[in-house]
Structure 1
Amino acid sequence: MRVLVLGAGQDVGKSCVVVRFGGKTFMFDCGMHLGYQDERRFPDFSLLSPSGGFTSVIDAVFISHFHLDHVGALPYFTEVCGYHGPVYMTHPTRAIAPLMLEDYHKVLLNRPGSGPVFARQHIGACMAKAQLMDLQETLQVCEDCEVTAYSAGHVLGAAILHLRVGGESVVYTGDFNTVPDRHLAGACVGWLRPDLLICESTYATSVRESKVAREGSMMAAVHQAVASGGKVLIPVFAVGRAQELLLLLDEFWERTQLQVPIYFSAPMAVRANQYYRLLLNWASGRVKQGPPGRRAAGFGFSRVLPWQPELLHQPGPCVLFATPGMLQGGTSLEVFKAWAPDPKNLVLLPSYQVAGTLGRRLMLGQRKGLLVDKATIDVNCKVFYATVSAHADAKGILQLVQQVAPAAALLVHGEPDKMAFMSNKIHSSLGIKCFMPAIGDEVEVSSSGCTPVQTSAQLLRKLPMTVQQLLRASEGGGSVAQGAAAGGDEQAVSAGAAAAGWMQQGDVGQLVQAAMKLAGLNTAAAAAGGGSAGSNAQQQQQQHQWCQ
């Protein structure tokens, strides 16, 4: 199994990971980097094939969710670079991704010296290629290859993907959150035991305080600002955290009876909320039912008003949700330049700020002589970093790795020092080998794919008895009979406990493999495989190039 990291390697942005196994090649996500405006904004697809022809190189593309750092380069890859193969995504991703892409396209058109790299019509043509997935549904991708999507708990429709080819498998998390919030349940994935888990690591060194405490601190900062007559700017992307924060503010306004207006700058947010209402079955039960009398039930948000440019200098307190979420352009940047000099005002940063963006500089404490659009301004307003991100923290990452139980793990979507910490933690705590490649790196991962072997009828006759031994052991507390372990196999001592788990998961294949091992078939397999080193080396040589 080989992994080529085209994006999000020791970095947060332009997620794009290519995996080759079972004779097929797949791409997970095709995102853009919000911190760059040059060729670095998109993955370097020439690493796949210098001459193009990507349809013959990639068998399928899988998109985990609709955020731009996971889908922003897809129209460029399909319509400009010429990939015409299948693209898989969930229904909410297919519905909302075009809104995100169109908004990004408008930002580029209005930014001096930064023209769009794909046309507006490319967005629709790209999305027409999408093949749709439901959560907990297994789809046949191609011969001997299937994929299952699980809830990631990050945004509406975000999916953790389990891809299987023959006896090998890979789990790709995309972005995930193990803690449920108002409009989404937490990530839900089973004991999958893949050969490789490709896992995000955005907050790999953070252990957050309780959600109640974090939200309380944030609402206290907002209340203090508006009570003193100040204005609150909340830079957001129009879909995702915006809906969660709108629900939070609606609850707080309802409880405190505040009469301060709440505005949203992005017209596409209205369309996004309409899609959210149409896709209500993908949300949590709490949103579907809605508390009695709550005006935001079902993403209604009747308290929220559309933003108009003439409101920029209007006196009096207000709260404004403005896009984009890292102050890299658009309304959020224009409003920031107007409101930042006033000490009564507040800028609330509710999510991760990518390196190279204005939001990141504010988060790091830069205030005086801040260079913004070739002019310098002094930031006198308050800045509050809210950390209400929908990413798992260090505890959640370890929880998911332990639950999925991979043979190996590979970290992406994180900063190098944080990834190194988590990599060491996964290896030391769970005994799982962990990789953290940089962008452009290629990693070879050994897999445990099944190989057909020849064996004797005598050994095969032992198989039913050893299956029964394992089943009896699983019922009797997790230890196998002495006769089963007489061969000195230390792993046999815990085979009963493992069998109990396999039976609970309905994994007959694992049970049979364990029985074969107890019956002595592992020795026969090793002997049969003794002469395969040459063929394996030949296979690695044949797979040396991604473009074959």
Structure 2
Amino acid sequence: MSYPRIIHHGAVSGVTGSCHQLQMNAHSSLLIDCGLFQGSELTAKGTIGALHPEINFSLGGIKALLVTHSHADHVGRIPYLLAAGFKGPILCSEPTAKLLPLVLEDAFKLELSREKKHIELYLQRLKQQVIALPFDHWFRIEQTETLHARIRLQRAGHILGSAYVECDLDYPQKGLNRRIVFSGDLGAPHTPLLPAPVSPERADVLILESTYGDRVHEDRTTRQARLEHAIDKALADHGTLLIPAFSIGRTQELLYEIEDILHRKALAGPPPGLSVKDQVLPVNWPQLPIILDSPLAGRLTGVYRELDDYWDAPAQSRLQGGRKPLHFKQMITIDSHVQHMQTVRYLASTGRPAIVIAAGGMCASGRIVNYLKALLGDRRHNVLFTGYQARGTPGAAIQKYGPQGGFVEMEGERCIIRAGVSTLGGYSAHADQQDLLNFVSGMAHWPEQICLVHGDIEAKRVLAKKLLGLYQAHNRSVEVLIPAD
């Protein structure tokens, strides 16, 4: 058998469950991510009970787990990996090392145990195994007579701390060197708070995500104006705007953008011809509550604030100007479940204009579910999607059937959709088709083989065709693979 070789344990037939094993030789391998399956992809995979994903591969010879970033579809199976006996190092960037315990503590409570002593033991073990690595530094994994292996993390621009992984494998006795790059989830240009990813110098083999391989995002430079317009429309309906959002990444981006809108509104003052006394909604932004209803999102946002050294130049400039992009005056954080239910009932009964950002991003779980059950049937309210909704999730159903006046099943309850439903493009944290092509063409040494993962089959097929066209246009050859289950 020839090495290196790659085995996929997830993110092959869809966009979740990222988990890839780099077999470096017969005795040593690396695991890159260990994520949960979500949506309709969950039911298609082997499970123990309803929510306990199997670790259905051998852990023998796995030298380390490399974590690209802290989203559940990349890290959510780590509790089960540890339970299966994995005792090796968990390597990740310095920001991810701070975010990961929070994300996995929450997952542990939801999926395994709420016993305090169990949680403490689990987190203690996790912290013992996590090793934080700086970006752009090589870290040696193994050095023997037959194999010199090292890895390097580079900024991926997807969420704070996200990385793509360069694996450099040297086989001295064979005179062979192979550079293998795992993209993780790549971000796009003009992402709030984060610098855009820069292509690696070279790759012989590239494991490339393809979430948006079949499309180009709406203009990201105008998305804040479109967000402002969407909020104005919702306020004109004299109700609440619900924004489902993942606790890490999207939530902080939205807060950052909304703070900037509020800042500009305050500088502009009331519209010409209107006194402050006469000013009414939808232009009364200064009194609009921005409700962040997710204890996890609140804690993660606190970590984002602590790690402002990793923010991009525009965000740094705002801080230096005395602004607080993630902790502004109109922001209200809801922590306890009692406060949460009180807020849901209050908004449902009064219809008071407000913006609610609540977990989770695909409406399958989290506090957003209670808001949707209470408010979806009222025409005063609006739901705004700013992120990808995987097949089989309630979010995808609301997106599809909401404009038709349909219904969605939530926790066994049929909810009629009368609230307005809209989707705002340009907020995806993923690279689009052109960004993915640019990531490849930006390398000095283009990959000889590209393996497409983390995308629906049509997205992969379209991206594969585009990649072949790119190589052909530059008189280069490439093998593009679409692995199967």
Which bracket does the TM-score occupy, shorter chain normalised?
0.7 to 0.9
Counterpart of 2:398 in structure 1: which amino acid? Answer: L
Q: SS of the residue aligned with 2:132?
A: strand
Counterpart of 1:438 in structure 2: which amino acid? Answer: A
**2:369 paired residue number:** 333
**2:281 paired residue number:** none
Q: Are 1:102 and 2:105 an aligned pair?
A: yes
**2:38 paired residue number:** 34
Q: 1:301 aligns with which of 328, 344, 354?
A: 328
* Aligned pairs for 1:61-72 within 5 A: 61-72=65-76
CA distance in structure 1 between the partners assigned to 2:391 and 2:106 by the alignment = 21
> 1:288-308 CA deviation, whole Å, 9 max, x = no partner?
2316756424x3334310233
CA distance in structure 1 between the partners assigned to 2:21 and 2:118 by the alignment = 25
Q: Are 1:432 and 2:471 an aligned pair?
A: no
**2:424 paired residue number:** 386
Change (3 A) 1:124 1:31: farther
CA distance in structure 2 between the partners assigned to 1:90 and 1:62 by the alignment = 9
- Residue 109 of structure 1 and its aligned partner are, at CA, apart by 7.5
Q: Are 1:155 and 2:148 an aligned pair?
A: no
**1:412 paired residue number:** 453
- Residue 340 of structure 1 and its aligned partner are, at CA, apart by 0.4
Change (3 A) 1:372 1:255: same
- Residue 66 of structure 1 and its aligned partner are, at CA, apart by 0.7
CA distance in structure 1 between the partners assigned to 2:255 and 2:86 by the alignment = 38
* Aligned pairs for 1:153-302 within 5 A: 153-166=157-170, 167-192=177-202, 194-257=203-266, 258=285, 259-290=287-318, 295-297=323-325, 299-302=326-329
- Residue 61 of structure 1 and its aligned partner are, at CA, apart by 1.3
CA distance in structure 1 between the partners assigned to 2:369 and 2:118 by the alignment = 24
Change (3 A) 1:241 1:43: same
- Residue 5 of structure 1 and its aligned partner are, at CA, apart by 1.1
* Aligned pairs for 1:35-50 within 5 A: 35=39, 36=42, 39-40=46-47, 44-46=54-56, 48-49=57-58
**1:528 paired residue number:** none
Counterpart of 2:265 in structure 1: which amino acid? Answer: T
Change (3 A) 1:396 1:141: same
Q: 1:422 aligns with which of 451, 455, 463?
A: 463
Q: 2:438 aligns with which of 384, 396, 399?
A: 399
Change (3 A) 1:352 1:270: same
Counterpart of 1:344 in structure 2: which amino acid? Answer: R
Q: SS of the residue aligned with 1:290?
A: helix
Residues 199 and 440 of structure 2 are in contact (CA less than 8 Å); yes or no, is this contact kept in structure 1? no
Counterpart of 1:372 in structure 2: which amino acid? Answer: M
Residues 222 and 346 of structure 1 are in contact (CA less than 8 Å); yes or no, is this contact kept in structure 2? no
Residues 74 and 126 of structure 1 are in contact (CA less than 8 Å); yes or no, is this contact kept in structure 2? no
* Aligned pairs for 1:442-453 within 5 A: none
CA distance in structure 2 between the partners assigned to 1:152 and 1:227 by the alignment = 38
**1:518 paired residue number:** none
Residues 136 and 150 of structure 1 are in contact (CA less than 8 Å); yes or no, is this contact kept in structure 2? yes
Change (3 A) 1:68 1:403: same
CA distance in structure 2 between the partners assigned to 1:320 and 1:102 by the alignment = 24
> 1:210-235 CA deviation, whole Å, 9 max, x = no partner?
11333322321111112331101111
Q: Which structure has the greater CA radius of gyration? A: 1
Residues 75 and 123 of structure 1 are in contact (CA less than 8 Å); yes or no, is this contact kept in structure 2? no
Residues 187 and 429 of structure 2 are in contact (CA less than 8 Å); yes or no, is this contact kept in structure 1? yes
Percent sequence identity over aligned pairs: 27
Q: 2:415 aligns with which of 377, 387, 405?
A: 377
Provide the TM-score with structure 1 as the length reference: 0.73
Q: SS of the residue aligned with 1:94?
A: helix
Change (3 A) 1:279 1:180: same
Q: SS of the residue aligned with 2:214?
A: coil
- Residue 62 of structure 1 and its aligned partner are, at CA, apart by 0.6
CA distance in structure 2 between the partners assigned to 1:426 and 1:7 by the alignment = 23
**1:520 paired residue number:** none
Residues 243 and 356 of structure 2 are in contact (CA less than 8 Å); yes or no, is this contact kept in structure 1? yes
CA distance in structure 1 between the partners assigned to 2:428 and 2:324 by the alignment = 21
Q: 1:362 aligns with which of 398, 402, 406?
A: 398
Counterpart of 2:62 in structure 1: which amino acid? Answer: I
**2:29 paired residue number:** 25
Number of paired residues?
Answer: 425
Residues 237 and 380 of structure 2 are in contact (CA less than 8 Å); yes or no, is this contact kept in structure 1? yes
Q: SS of the residue aligned with 2:135?
A: coil
Counterpart of 2:292 in structure 1: which amino acid? Answer: F
- Residue 329 of structure 1 and its aligned partner are, at CA, apart by 1.7
Residues 154 and 163 of structure 2 are in contact (CA less than 8 Å); yes or no, is this contact kept in structure 1? yes
Counterpart of 1:283 in structure 2: which amino acid? Answer: W
**2:12 paired residue number:** 9
Residues 107 and 330 of structure 1 are in contact (CA less than 8 Å); yes or no, is this contact kept in structure 2? no
Residues 33 and 42 of structure 1 are in contact (CA less than 8 Å); yes or no, is this contact kept in structure 2? no
- Which one has a larger percent helix, Structure 1 or Structure 2? 1
Pairwise CA RMSD of aligned residues?
Answer: 2.3
Q: Which moved more, 1:308-317 or 1:374-383?
A: 308-317
Q: Which moved more, 1:170-179 or 1:356-365?
A: 356-365
Change (3 A) 1:190 1:370: closer
Residues 295 and 302 of structure 1 are in contact (CA less than 8 Å); yes or no, is this contact kept in structure 2? no
Where does the alignment leave 5 or more consecutive residues of structure 2 unmatched?
171-176, 267-284, 472-476
Q: SS of the residue aligned with 2:9?
A: strand
- Residue 22 of structure 1 and its aligned partner are, at CA, apart by 4.5
Residues 426 and 433 of structure 1 are in contact (CA less than 8 Å); yes or no, is this contact kept in structure 2? no
CA distance in structure 2 between the partners assigned to 1:266 and 1:109 by the alignment = 20
Q: SS of the residue aligned with 1:85?
A: coil
Residues 295 and 303 of structure 1 are in contact (CA less than 8 Å); yes or no, is this contact kept in structure 2? no
- Residue 413 of structure 1 and its aligned partner are, at CA, apart by 0.6
**1:135 paired residue number:** 135
> 1:337-376 CA deviation, whole Å, 9 max, x = no partner?
1010111211111111122211121223355232222121
CA distance in structure 2 between the partners assigned to 1:109 and 1:312 by the alignment = 28
Q: Which moved more, 1:34-43 or 1:120-129?
A: 34-43
Counterpart of 1:269 in structure 2: which amino acid? Answer: A
> 1:396-448 CA deviation, whole Å, 9 max, x = no partner?
01111222311100011100011011112212321321111133xxxxxxxxx
- Residue 81 of structure 1 and its aligned partner are, at CA, apart by 0.4
Where does the alignment leave 5 or more consecutive residues of structure 1 unmatched?
440-548
Counterpart of 1:399 in structure 2: which amino acid? Answer: N
CA distance in structure 2 between the partners assigned to 1:197 and 1:42 by the alignment = 30
Change (3 A) 1:277 1:206: same
Residues 139 and 151 of structure 2 are in contact (CA less than 8 Å); yes or no, is this contact kept in structure 1? yes
